[in-house]
């Protein structure tokens, strides 16, 4: 009953005309950003950060979340029409979405992707209503030692999820931790990694790191293709809807994939890409006609679309209740909240219930608005795919510099922005994951403080990290998250060796 009362109060916040306007604008911007190949939700939220600086925390969070799941709606548009996913989470939509469009079923493909995203988002929002309070109450039992181990677990899971690049994932994590230590140590007064540069004494703002890595890095990566034309997408459509047979084929894959996407999304580092690919493979295995997958099977489009939208909601659970971002996008959102003076974590639901429950309620409203936008207005929205890169990327570049100046009013940060843009470009070139670095840069200083607090409480006794059941469980997760991918790589290489022999 308390949950329903809290949700009711949340709806009072979310239904304010200003918040409805923001979730609509955020959803449209997210849909557009999601459609543009390469940008993705993390870049979209990073570029739009300056807009949120003028808002209150509730309005900022509602807007950023609208951009996030709006991008999940939009990502499949380019997958279906030009066989180019807007971001990794929309990759699975190319498998059957584009073949459907080639068979003259683009209308059905656009409709089912929006319907599946809508239902997946609603189911995930219901899960969030049920789970948010219990998880937050459980997290209140955490002391500094448990928090330190929780952050280590989140970092190790994020780093180890870098498929085929586990070592690079851990290197990126270490670099992120080093970035978090730049500046004067608040407790000892010792300068760390400042190299005598005055401006670095206050540290490197992680928002500038985020904008540099995601926005500038993307621009640098796309520079060599800036003169290439865009693929021509279909612009004229019949009625964008599905028939009864298509619905019957899609409904169970949608309902099965939403819980799967929510659970995977809640795991640090897993994200929408893994959720959508697992949902696709799951449906292919369950299907009576697996040979039709990859040739335009509507259930092969419905399942990943439901899963990736549910994953975007699931990724908010660890950020809101534990203060640990579950994905690159939520890491950006958490950075913005910290900038606005709000500390996500277990106390968020007791200290800022209007904001927390207002956000959850806004997800129900936002998904309805996005379904309305993405079905009847699909023909209008896909015209965005015609924007040439030589116009799009200068806009992204301008927003990145304006956003950086809005954060600190310092020209020196422009140099830091460019440096991290180059770092982002190089990381992309050598296929080093960026999420572990971003997450480590954000939680690094908090993790260090928790470690110090735990040692002060225990008079320097390291045994405090092994005392509670929660701590031991977290240590188990850390060990598994590090050892499992190493064992899996070793096993895979052994199997390949046997096949070659």
* Backbone φ and ψ of 343, nearest 5°: -100, 105
Residue 226 pLDDT class (50, 70, 90 cuts):
low
d(CA 498, CA 500): 5
Checking if the pLDDT of 116 tops 80, the result is yes
d(CA 237, CA 452): 61
Residue closest to 105 by CA, chosen among 255, 275, 269, 246: 246
pLDDT at residue 234 in the model: 66
d(CA 236, CA 238): 7
d(CA 54, CA 333): 15
Spell out the residues 6+ positions from residue 305 whose beta carbon is closer than 8 angstroms to its own. Answer: 76, 93, 112, 113, 116, 117, 120, 276
Query: Tokens 């990126």 appear where?
Result: 172
Query: Tokens 């190790």 appear where?
Result: 156
Spell out the residues 6+ positions from residue 54 whose beta carbon is closer than 8 angstroms to its own. Answer: none
d(CA 183, CA 199): 9
Q: Could you report the per-residue pLDDT of 246-289, keeping only the tens digit for each?
A: 999 999 999 999 998 998 888 766 667 778 878 888 888 888 88
pLDDT at residue 325 in the model: 78
Q: What is the largest CA-CA distance in the chain?
A: 72
Q: Could you report the per-residue pLDDT of 48-92, keeping only the tens digit for each?
A: 777 777 888 899 989 999 888 888 788 788 788 877 776 767 878
DSSP letter string, 450-462: HHHHHHHHTTT-G
pLDDT at residue 228 in the model: 62
Rounded (10°) angle between helices 166-180 and 469-500: 140
Checking if the pLDDT of 1 tops 70, the result is no
Residue 484 pLDDT class (50, 70, 90 cuts):
confident
pLDDT at residue 37 in the model: 67
Cβ neighbours of 114 (radius 10 Å): 26
d(CA 260, CA 285): 15
Tally the C-alpha atoms within 13 A of residue 174's C-alpha that lie toward its C-beta. Answer: 6
Token readout for 108 is: 């059905």
Burial class (CB in 10 A: 0-12, 13-18, 19+), 466: exposed
d(CA 277, CA 219): 27
Burial class (CB in 10 A: 0-12, 13-18, 19+), 147: buried
The answer for 104, left when phi > 0, alpha when psi is -120 to 50, beta otherwise, is left
Instruction: Give the 3-state secondary structure of residue 344.
Output: coil
Please indicate whether residue 230 or residue 226 has the higher confidence score (pLDDT): 226
Checking if the pLDDT of 422 tops 90, the result is yes
Residue closest to 157 by CA, chosen among 453, 345, 433: 433
Q: Could you report the per-residue pLDDT of 366-397, keeping only the tens digit for each?
A: 999 988 888 877 777 777 777 777 887 888 88
d(CA 68, CA 373): 15
Long-range contacts formed by 442-446: CB under 8 A, 24+ apart: 442/180, 442/206, 442/325, 442/331, 442/334, 442/335, 442/338, 443/151, 443/154, 443/155, 443/180, 443/323, 443/324, 443/325, 444/176, 444/177, 444/179, 444/180, 444/181, 445/180, 445/181, 446/147, 446/151, 446/323
d(CA 480, CA 457): 28
pLDDT at residue 8 in the model: 92
Spell out the residues 6+ positions from residue 368 whose beta carbon is closer than 8 angstroms to its own. Answer: 118
Long-range contacts formed by 227-233: CB under 8 A, 24+ apart: 227/389, 227/390, 228/389, 229/388, 230/82, 230/385, 230/386, 230/387, 230/388, 230/389, 231/82, 231/83, 231/84, 231/385, 232/82, 232/386, 233/78, 233/81, 233/82, 233/382, 233/385, 233/386
Cβ neighbours of 189 (radius 10 Å): 7
pLDDT at residue 248 in the model: 93
Angle in degrees, CA 312, 279, 136, rounded to 5: 40
Checking if the pLDDT of 2 tops 90, the result is no
């Amino acid at each position: 009953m308390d949950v329903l009362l809290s949700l009711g109060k949340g709806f009072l916040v979310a239904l304010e005309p200003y918040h409805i306007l923001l979730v609509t604008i955020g959803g449209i911007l997210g849909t557009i950003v999601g459609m543009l190949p390469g940008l993705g939700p993390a870049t979209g939220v990073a570029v739009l950060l300056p807009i949120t600086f003028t808002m209150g925390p509730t309005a900022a969070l509602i807007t950023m979340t609208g951009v996030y799941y709006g991008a999940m709606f939009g990502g499949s548009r380019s997958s279906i029409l030009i066989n180019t996913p807007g971001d990794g989470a929309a990759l699975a939509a190319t498998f059957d979405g584009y073949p459907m469009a080639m068979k003259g079923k683009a209308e059905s493909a656009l409709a089912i992707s929006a319907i599946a995203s809508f239902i997946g988002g609603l189911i995930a929002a219901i899960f969030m209503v049920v789970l948010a309070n219990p998880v937050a109450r459980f997290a209140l039992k955490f002391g500094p030692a448990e928090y330190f181990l929780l952050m280590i677990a989140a970092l190790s899971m994020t780093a180890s999820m870098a498929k085929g690049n586990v070592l690079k994932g851990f290197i990126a994590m270490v670099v992120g931790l080093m970035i978090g230590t730049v500046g004067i140590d608040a407790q000892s007064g010792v300068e760390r990694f400042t190299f005598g540069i005055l401006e670095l004494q206050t540290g490197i703002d992680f928002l500038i790191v985020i904008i540099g890595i995601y926005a500038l890095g993307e621009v640098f990566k796309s520079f060599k293709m800036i003169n290439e034309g865009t693929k021509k997408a279909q612009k004229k459509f019949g009625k964008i809807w599905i028939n009864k047979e298509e619905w019957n084929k899609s409904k169970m894959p949608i309902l099965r994939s939403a819980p799967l996407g929510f659970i995977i999304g809640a795991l640090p580092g897993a994200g929408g890409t893994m959720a959508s690919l697992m949902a696709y493979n799951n449906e292919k295995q369950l299907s009576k006609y697996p040979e039709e997958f990859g040739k335009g099977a509507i259930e092969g489009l419905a399942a990943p679309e439901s899963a990736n939208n549910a994953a975007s909601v699931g990724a908010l659970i660890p950020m809101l209740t534990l203060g640990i971002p579950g994905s690159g996008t939520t890491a950006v959102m958490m950075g913005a909240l910290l900038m606005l003076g709000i500390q996500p974590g277990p106390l968020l639901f007791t200290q800022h219930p209007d904001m927390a429950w207002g956000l959850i309620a806004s997800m129900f409203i936002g998904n309805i608005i996005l379904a309305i936008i993405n079905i009847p207005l699909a023909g209008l929205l896909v015209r965005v795919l015609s924007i040439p890169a030589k116009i799009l990327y200068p806009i992204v570049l301008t927003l990145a510099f304006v956003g950086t100046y809005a954060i600190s009013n310092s020209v020196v940060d422009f140099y830091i922005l460019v440096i991290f843009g180059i770092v982002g470009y190089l990381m992309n070139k050598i296929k080093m994951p960026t999420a572990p670095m971003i997450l480590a840069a954000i939680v690094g200083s908090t993790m260090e403080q928790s470690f110090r607090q735990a040692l002060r409480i225990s008079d320097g006794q390291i045994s405090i990290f092994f005392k509670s059941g929660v701590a031991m469980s977290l240590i188990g997760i850390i060990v598994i998250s590090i050892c499992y991918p190493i064992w899996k790589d070793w096993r895979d290489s052994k199997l390949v060796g046997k096949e070659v022999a």
